[in-house]
Structure 1
Amino acid sequence: MNIPSYAFAVELAQPLPAAIETLRAALAAEQMGIVSEVDVQATLKAKLGIDSHPQKLLGICSPKVAHALLEAEPDIAALLPCGGGATESSPGRTRIVLQDPRVIAALSANTDVHAACELAHATLRRVLERLNAAERSATP
């Protein structure tokens, strides 16, 4: 699996709705959540008449991290919430990508921003570990 330098990625042997619920549970265990969803498939169909595979853009947030970032640098709101996505690349198989918070840190010279992004980075690594564990336990 090709993993971009700006994101974490995992593939789950689940259709898109189930994979998003698995992601929600992994995020909730770390006091994070999905605060917004864009149904890309429906939007492309409605706005451009394009048929595509199931895909959602996800806004992922940790209130603790968001607060720390906004306190350190209020204009960082332009970069929040952290981005994510889920794509059912083939029936019953979903790829989840989560933005690495270090991408946000790289855009700021503020040490408090860097500290909050490192906290978020470590948290998302644990989320990824939970997703990988869920995938391993589901595979016979």
Structure 2
Amino acid sequence: MGYALSTTVNKPFDQTLAATREALAAQGFGVLTEIDLAATLRKKLEVEIPPQVILGACNPPSAYAALQAEESIGVLLPCNVVVRSVDEASTVVEAIDPQTMHELTGNQAMAPVAERIGGMLQGALDSLTS
């Protein structure tokens, strides 16, 4: 099983990052954390990578349902969504596949939660290319 949901958007990084935030909000996710990976690596290691941002997305009702099914699931929350530049005209947007949470825990009570969150994340990704 793969661990990511992914799409390539034929738009520059900054436009795609803004559109990703909007797409997540439209699916009921808030962005709790944002890590500018390129800036962090530049500052800490003095290395350059293409623009890449990790968004920590959370849908509170789904997070609560996941915690009710598996009390240690917090180590896998929030759902990470990565927006990374491929070149000046295209950007990849990837999200953790929530089925990974189900697979890792082996807890069948996680299955419907993972399916619901996965559908929401896939909906956000799909909206970026429609």
Would you say 1:59 and 2:63 are equivalent positions? Answer: no
Please, which runs of 5 or more residues in structure 1 have no aligned partner? 134-140
Match of 1:88 in 2: 85
The SS at the match of 1:106 is helix
Q: Which moved more, 1:100-109 or 1:25-34?
A: 25-34
Secondary structure (helix, strand or coil) at the match of 1:130 reads helix
Give 2:119's aligned residue.
Answer: 122
In structure 2, distance between residues paired with 1:11 and 1:109: 31
Q: TM-score, normalised by structure 1?
A: 0.85
DSSP 3-state at the match of 1:110: coil
Q: Name the SS for the 1:31 alignment partner.
A: coil
2:14 pairs, out of 6, 13, 17, with 17
Aligned to 1:74: 71
Aligned-partner SS, 1:116: helix
CA distance in 2, matches of 1:111, 1:42: 39
Specify the alignment match of 2:23 in structure 1: 26
| Letter in structure 2 aligned against 1:38 | I
In 1: Cα distance, 2:41 partner to 2:60 partner: 31
The answer to which of 71-80 and 120-129 deviates more is 120-129
Q: What is the CA RMSD across the aligned residues, in angstroms?
A: 1.5
Q: Which has the higher contact order (CA 8 A, sep 6+)?
A: 2
1:40 and 2:37 aligned: yes
CA positional deviation for 1:91: 1.3
Unaligned runs of 5+ in 2: none
How far apart, in 2, do the equivalents of 1:17 and 1:63 lie?
A: 27
| Runs of 4+, deviation exceeding 4 Å | none
- Separation (CA, whole Å) in 2 of partners of 1:97 and 1:36: 16
Q: Can you list the C-alpha shifts for 1:84-119, whole angstroms capped at 9, x where unaligned?
A: 211111113211111110001101232322211111
1: distance between equivalents of 2:122 and 2:9? 16
Q: Distance in 2 between matches of 1:8 and 1:97?
A: 6
Give the whole-Å Cα distance in 1 for the aligned partners of 2:86 and 2:78. Answer: 24
Deviation at 1:13, TM superposition (A): 2.2
Counterpart in the other structure of 1:99: 96
For 1:10, the aligned partner's letter is T
